[in-house]
Every structure is written in structure tokens, then in C-alpha cells.
Structure 1
């Protein structure tokens, strides 16, 4: 049965098999691929690989700083955890999934950090029926993602670490330092030592800074890498187009992505995010997250709207309507900044012969 969101190791299984079959470089203990092959899996390569007599293309999956990818891989090969930080929607989670899929073929060993996350959620808990019947035996223990990672020598992903209470965060300190997990209920045998290959990839949004600030002791046990938004408008448009095409295909809709509308959307998001237009004019920045992921969502929702309620062609009215919803998500007053952008920038571009910008401006009545 098809999954709405397949695991990375399932989605790119053929590429991973091809890379593993052709990988002759040194590997850290328990890694499925060498650091070179992990890098190739994430950023792609032009030359195809041979697998059982067939050529396999290795596509680029992460668009950003290639040096950041290399540093992340080196960190995971060492004894420090990896912390990916950045604005929401900058593909931190996707990068952690890709790293896990390439290194240990398991991206599902994950903790989703929330305010309700408890220490037993990440380490281990008990099957209380078995605990009462047999006492604290291994059979009664229910391993959490951290336990699984240490026992099997694989990566543990920790999403939104700073959303967790500080006492839960600090429970990672001994694990990252000594690579040991204490299980007091087992008595003298209650020590789990991590197998080679174990490490932690954590993510955190810079917008959550101050919610549950990490302690200095925990910070010292991670190497921090900042994932920045994409600066190139053409590259951002390419990502929007490819992601929307994939999402529409997964929804059973024949993708018909309008490149001119995608380019317009990428430009709008880039300019509102940076606070300056292509002409160098300063504009007000909304407080909402103007990420590539949000741009993908705006076009995808507009395309779904067109498919179910229209002729299949994305209409500017729908695009502006979903854009305004994104802008007003954090602060409804930000709609005034979007109106100002339409009045000063979009109108001018429509007047100099930009037909798509003219249509975009004419849909401004959807800004409510």
C-alpha cells in the first residue's frame, strides 16, 4: 500500500543499493555507506552508477550549502552529536532523514520533541502487565528511540529538541558524554553501552529560541550547523516546482505546474523574506515564516483548488488567497505589509508589461 510520506530509505532504495554496491571507500563502524557515498546520495552526481547491469541516476536531494553537508557527515562519524538549527521550513528535518537513511537505512528511529515529551518517551518505558507478572526483565522493557539507537548502533533523530522541557534535554548529557544508558531496575546489569555507529541528530528552530533554552553543558556536546534559507530565486523556483510536482503526483493529480507562476511565487517569497526587492527597494518584512516550504504549500493548495473547483489551471485569485493565509498566520497585521507590497511593487511590475504580475495585482481583492 502506498504511503502518504514514504521513508527516505524506501523512496530512494534503488539509489542507496547502487551506492552501496559501488562503494569502495572506508566506512566508520556500522555505517552502510562511506562518508563519500553519503555525500553523493544527498547532493547527487552527474555520472550514473551501475546496479545489476542497469544505470542508476543519483539525484540531488538537498539544495543548499554542500560544505554544510560534508561537515554534518564528519560530525556523525565522530563522537559528538549533530544539531541542525535554522528558520522553520529550511529542510532541517529532510536533511536529518537523508543522513539517517544513507548511514543506517533507518530514518524512523525518531523522537518528536514537544512540551509533553517525557524522559521515558526517549529512553525506555515498561509493559506494566509483564512488569507485574515477571518483574523488571528485558521482556517487559519497551525501548524508546534512544535505547534502540544505542542497542543497534544506529542514529537517533531528535526533532524540535528545544520544544522539550529542560530536564528532558539534560537527560541526553550522560548519553552523549559516556555513551551509556543506566537502567536502575536491572540492578548490576542495568547498563546499556552504545554500539559503534550510534549518534544523535537533533533539530531546533531559531524561532523557538528562549522557549526551553539548551543548557551550556548540553550545547558543548553537539556540533551546531545552521541551515540557511535559499538565496537564489531561480534555485528556489526549481525546488518549488519539483516539490509541487511530487506532491500533486502523490495526490493522484496529473501535475501541470506553470513555471511563470512558480517564478513569481519564488520572487515574492524571496523579497518578503529578505525585505528588499530585486530593484534594491526596501520593503516591510512580515513576521511570518516565508520559507520555501511555505511557498510549496501555497502553490500546492492553489493547484488542488484549481483541480477540484476550477479548470485545472492555477488562478491568481486562489494564489493570493492562500498567500494571504500564510502571511496572516503569525500576525494578522502583516496583511497590511502585503497590501503595501502589492501597491508599490506588484503594480509597477504589471505596468511595465509583466502579464503574470498584472494578473497577480488584479487579484489583490483577495487580501482580506
Structure 2
């Protein structure tokens, strides 16, 4: 995929571009009813998210590994007049799922508002081209529509990331949009009404600092779907392996021997420290202050691949991922350092097939 203006390869293509072949194959075989404005039926959208093999042999790769019912509830919500709130701890693929839902339903995942403490109401409603505003006064030509307003006008899915990071008054500017499906523009004595096909997906978590509670009035406009952490070690290994493979291809990193073993090790360390219990259920361990999410595991392994490819011997080894694991675990030098050393000496040292990882981690910790 290349940039339209420069022709240079883009670092990360939008979902509708990266998986255009899968979406086209699903659309060609999709004979189920489609809600107004949808490019695929709800059933086909779920197959796109969860993966499927089509009658012509086309393989649709899974975008989300988890209970099918969660995806079905999310998709069916978007076929109603209620917006969708994807809730979960950091690293549970909320953003990833919202992007792919928008790509499959609207063919456009770019109508995005990124929530931060500094997000202004204009990012949700509209702003103004002040040169035109001063020259000609308020007019449609001077109005700068937000992604939400554009989605309403075009009958597409809008996305709001990190809803709870936005100030409460900015959050509440969505209430009229979601309840009345209308955005008043008093400066023009008019409004924009949503075209059929419009809906909104928001993501939020309640674990990070800087969280603003969602008002009860706004929460009532959403159907909330909680995305859980991967249920099993194998599920999480599968997720990390697939995403690392996709990122590696995008970054043109070679596929290296040793990847499967080190991915399983990283995921095992993260799950044990996150759960406070070893995989076999025999030993309790203290938990660090960080979240140790699946997304962080993906980042650790991808960084390890880059180290092995550019500065190593072409094999992904424990030393390549140990630095990333240490950085993810030890966020607080006082508390987390003690937790990590206790885990190293009390758990990893006694695992016969982990001695190379234990030595690499021990060298970094000394």
C-alpha cells in the first residue's frame, strides 16, 4: 500500500485497504440481508472479524480471537439505533476491533476522534475555517465538519477512541447525536440529520489515570460490550503470533527461527505476573504495577525481532526479548524491581527449559 500523494509505501494501511481482498470476497458471496448503508450483512461482518473459509476456498483471517457471541452482540448493536461502547482493560484489542468493524460495515475506518484530556468540543461537533468565517460570515463553506458530522452526513460508522479520556462536557456533546440522530448548527439556524447507516463506536477503559467517568445520560445511549483478556495461554499466544507476523511483514522484518518459543515465553511471563499465579496453578506470585497487556507482549516480541534481525545472528533468542519484558514489568523502580527479582529467583530459576531466558533476564537485572 502506498501514499496517494507521494507513492511511498505507508507504514500501516487502513483495515479496509489491508484486507480489501477478504472484504471483496465476503461481499461477493454475501446473500444475507444487509442493514441500510452496510456493505456486508451482520453475519458476514462477524465472519470477517472471527475468520472463515469461503466456498471458493478464500481464507478470511481472524481479526479477533475470543467468544463469537461477543462479536455477534457488537455487530447486532450497530444494526440498531444504539451506539456501541467497547470496554476493557488496556490491550484487549478495543481499537483493533472498532477499526475492523468500521471497515467491514462502512468501508471506511478513518472517521476517528482520538480522545485526550485536551480534546475540544469541536472535534466531536464542528469547527470553522476562520479565514472564510471572517470574510463571508457563517456558512456551510466555512464550516469544518468533525469526523462524527461527516459520518452522519455519509451514513457511515464514526469512531471515538478513549472516550473516558475526554472531558465530561465534551463527552456529553454526543448525547444529542446519539439520541436524536441530529447535530444542531445554531450559527446557521440549521442542523445535520444522520443518514441511515450512521452509528458510532466508542472505546474506553477504567484502568489508566486521567479517566473521566461517563455520565449516566450518555451511557444509556450505548450498548456496552466488555472485551475480556484472552481466556487461555494458547489463545493469547495465537493473538500475539498473528499480530507479530502482520507487523513483521509491514516492517519487512524476516521470519526468524525461535519465534514461536520466545512468544510463548513472553506470554507466559505476562500472564503469570498479571494473574498473580503460575500457569500450573501451584505458585502464587506478586503482581507489578503495569497492566502487562497482550498489546505490550506484541510490542516486546516485535522489538525483539528487530534486534535479532539487525544486531543478532538471525535467530530470535531470549536476550532479544528479555530487555522488552524487563521494561514492561518494571515501571516503578522500587516496587516492580522487587516483584521481578522475586519472580526470577522463585519461579524461572527452577524451570529447566527456561535457563537461557533466566540467565538473560538475570544479567539485565543485576
TM-score, with length taken from structure 2: 0.94
2:158 to 150, 156, 159: 156
* Whole-Å separation in 1 of the counterparts to 2:45 and 2:313: 43
Q: Give, in angstroms, the shift of residue 328 of structure 1.
A: 2.0
Aligned to 2:12: 5
Question: Against the structure 1 CA distance between its residues 257 and 65, is the aligned structure 2 distance closer, same or farther, given a 3 Å change threshold?
Answer: farther
Runs of 5+ in structure 2 lacking a partner? 3-8
Q: How does 1:82-121 map to 2 (within 5 A)?
A: 82-121=84-123
Pairs within 5 Å for 1:207-246: 207-208=207-208, 211-246=211-246
Which 4+ stretches in 1 moved above 4 angstroms?
Answer: none
Indicate whether 1:333 and 2:335 are aligned: yes
Question: Which residue number in structure 2 is paired with residue 191 of structure 1?
Answer: 191
Residues 162 and 208, structure 1, Cα contact 8 Å, conserved in 2:
no
Q: Secondary structure at the match of 2:183?
A: strand
Alignment of 1:365 with 2:366, yes or no, is: no
Tell me what 2:24 maps to.
17
Conservation of the 8 A alpha-carbon contact between 2:119 and 2:170: yes
Contact 2:274 2:292 in 1 (8 A): yes
The change in CA–CA distance for 1:210 and 1:132 in structure 2 (over 3 A counts) is: closer
Give the Cα separation in 1 of the matches to 2:332 and 2:180. 41
Residue equivalent to 1:268: 269
1:22-101 equivalences under 5 Å are 22-45=29-52, 47-50=53-56, 55-101=57-103
Deviation per CA, 1:129-148, whole angstroms, max 9, x where unpaired? 11122221111111111110
Q: Secondary structure at the match of 1:29?
A: coil
- Asked if structure 2 preserves the Cα contact closer than 8 Å seen for 1:306 and 1:314, the reply is yes
Shift of 1:330: 5.5
Q: Secondary structure at the match of 1:203?
A: strand
Q: Offset at 1:235?
A: 2.0
Asked whether the 8 Å contact 2:257–2:314 carries over to 1, the reply is no
Question: How many angstroms apart in 1 are the aligned matches of 2:348 and 2:102?
Answer: 43
Distance 1:331 1:101 in 2: 42
Helix, strand or coil for the counterpart of 1:142? strand
1:103–1:334 distance in 2 versus 1, CA, 3 Å: same
> What does 1:282-301 correspond to in 2, within 5 Å?
282-301=284-303
Pairwise CA RMSD of aligned residues? 1.5
Q: Deviations over 1:26-53 (max 9, x none)?
A: 11111111101111111111x3344xxx
Residue 318 of structure 1, CA deviation = 3.2
Deviations along 1:60-107, one digit per CA (max 9) or x if unpaired, are 110112111000011111111110111111100000011000100010
Do the aligned partners of residues 201 and 332 (structure 1) sit closer, same or farther apart at CA in structure 2, a change above 3 Å counting?
farther
TM-score, normalised by the number of residues in structure 1: 0.93
What is the count of residue pairs matched by the alignment? 356
| Contact 1:324–1:335 (CA under 8 A) maintained in structure 2 | no
CA shift for structure 1 position 164 = 0.4
Please give the alpha-carbon distance, in whole angstroms, between the structure 1 residues aligned to 2:139 and 2:249: 48
- Whether 1:250 and 2:256 are equivalent positions in the alignment is no
1:288-339 Cα offsets, whole Å, 9 max, x none, are: 0111111111111112112222212223233222111111235652121111
1:346 CA displacement: 0.6
Contact 2:254–2:309 at 8 Å: present in 1 too? no
| Residue 181 (structure 2) pairs with residue 169 (structure 1) | no
Contact residue 245 and residue 257 of structure 1 kept, 8 A: no
What's the offset of the Cα at 1:262?
1.6
Residue 126 of structure 2 corresponds to: 124
Q: How far 1:261 moved relative to its partner?
A: 1.6
1: distance between equivalents of 2:254 and 2:90? 29
Query: CA–CA distance in 2 between the matches of 1:262 and 1:322?
Result: 12
